Amino acid sequence: MTTLIHDLRFALRMLRRNPGFTVIAVTVLALSIGANSAIFSLVDAVLFKPLPFADPQRLVMLRERSPGNPRGEGGRGAHR
């Protein structure tokens, strides 16, 4: 336990001596932790949680085709 305390004191001394490195290290850690949390939240919501419907395998998507829109793309507010 004493070596841990000595190591922490040494690390804090070194970080205090190099403020530029400290700012960069803290910024990189903060950005990477935030990005990791955001990506995990997205993956969790998209891949792991089931859809909030009784029978999600029965969901369908309907599109209307017209002569001016043969592939059924677009809709309200759609731009080409």
pLDDT for the residue 70: 66
Determine, yes or no, domain membership for 75: no
Model pLDDT for residues 9-21, shown as the tens digit of each residue: 999 999 999 999 9
Q: Which domain holds residue 26?
A: 19-49
Model pLDDT for residues 41-53, shown as the tens digit of each residue: 999 988 888 878 8
User: Which residues does residue 69 pair with via DSSP β-bridges, in sequence order?
Assistant: 66
Determine, yes or no, domain membership for 59: no
Determine, yes or no, domain membership for 66: no
Residue pair 15/22 in contact (Cβ under 8 Å)? The answer is: yes
Determine, yes or no, domain membership for 74: no
Model pLDDT for residues 29-75, shown as the tens digit of each residue: 999 999 999 999 999 988 888 878 888 788 888 877 777 766 666 65
User: How many structural domains is the chain composed of?
Assistant: 1
